[in-house]
Amino acid sequence: MKNQALSVMLMLMCMVISNAQHKGNYDQISRQNILHSGNATIYNPTVQQQINKILNPSTNVFIDVKALQNISATTYTAIFNVSQIGPTADSTNLLMNQRVDKIKSALKTIGISEEDFAVDVISFVPNYEIEVQKKLFSKTYTEVPNGFELQQNLHIQFTKTNQFENILTACAKSEIYNLVKVDYYIENIAEVYKNLQTKLLKLIEEKKAYYKVLGFDLANYNVAIADDQYCYFPKDFYQSYQAFNSVSFEAITKKKGVTTAKKQTSYYYQPLSYENYDVVINPSILEPVVQIGMNIRLQYTPKPKEAKPEPVVKTEIKHKYYVVSPNGTLDIKALQTN
């Protein structure tokens, strides 16, 4: 009976696992298989908001274009921190050099020469301990050096991602485990921005032609512009998660309560989403990449109509002249000047 109950429980667990085979470990359910048209309503509320969005017409015209390009790094630089202690300054430095030389020899076998290797000395300081000196009527405590500590950062440059595993192995053999970071470098970033600019200018011309078909000749508009460009590296886009729950099989076999297991923090690479971009170059990526983007926003406002000048009113004054006879008669006649 107990075996039967255990079998049923395991079957239920297997059914749950099989039904959730498309669910990732991070805190988002993968719904690529159910987001399709049908009689059921769409689950995602953001999609519903976009479908039912109310558009507000305006006499102003806005052209927003965004482009993104994924670039694989030309070179990488891995930085390891290493610390070495010794009884004297010379012995400490000698032990450090032996470890570094061992790494260099291992890296040469995978095509990484000494030109791709650099040492950055961080500190070289003595360590102290307290020495008690006993005298006839007193004790004194004096700090005296008992050794030295040398700390360095090793900079290792490589060009292929599959070399990194061999670098880790070489460092581990010399008891170096502290990986500080990995930097990504790309060449000719100006060419990348120029390529994005060309793509966006072409797209802007297409949109201007589209608005002209709708009756908006943008030549009759005043234009204002804002633009932006940016470059993001993989280190900016790693996110963490923990497993939501865990099952203890040991608790089932020992017929005890459920034992809570420690959940490890995991990290995954989450690059920029493409949903807000008009142009994406190299969209399919296999490994972490450098993401370079450019945005251009144009605002067109109608040019004010020129006001017609008001007609000028001319006032003409006609003068009349009279001649009086010298004998003083009252026979006054108007003098015609026309």
- The pTM score is 0.65
User: How far is 167 from 160, CA to CA, in rounded Å?
Assistant: 11
Closest CA to 265 of 241, 237, 238: 241
- Please name the amino acid found at residue 312: V
pLDDT by residue for the chain (338 residues), tens only, comes to 445 544 544 454 444 444 444 434 545 444 444 444 455 555 566 667 777 778 788 888 899 999 999 999 999 999 999 999 888 888 889 999 999 999 999 999 888 988 999 999 998 888 766 665 666 566 666 666 678 889 999 999 999 888 999 999 999 988 899 999 999 999 889 999 999 999 999 999 999 999 999 888 888 899 999 999 999 998 888 888 776 655 555 666 665 555 566 677 888 888 999 989 999 999 998 889 999 999 999 999 998 887 777 777 777 777 666 666 666 654 555 555 55
Closest CA to 96 of 78, 77, 123: 123
Q: Is 215 left (phi over 0), alpha (psi -120 to 50) or beta?
A: left
Query: 239-278 burial string, b = 16+ CB within 10 Å, else e?
Result: eeeeeeeeeeeeeeeeeeeeeeeeeeeeeeeebbeeeebb
For helices 89-108 and 163-173, angle between their N-to-C axes, nearest 10 degrees: 150
**For residue 287, what are the CA distances in angstroms to 26, 60, 71, 73, 218?**
18, 43, 10, 10, 43
User: How far is 107 from 119, CA to CA, in rounded Å?
Assistant: 15
Phi and psi torsions of 20, nearest 5°:
-110, 30
Phi and psi torsions of 286, nearest 5°:
-105, -30
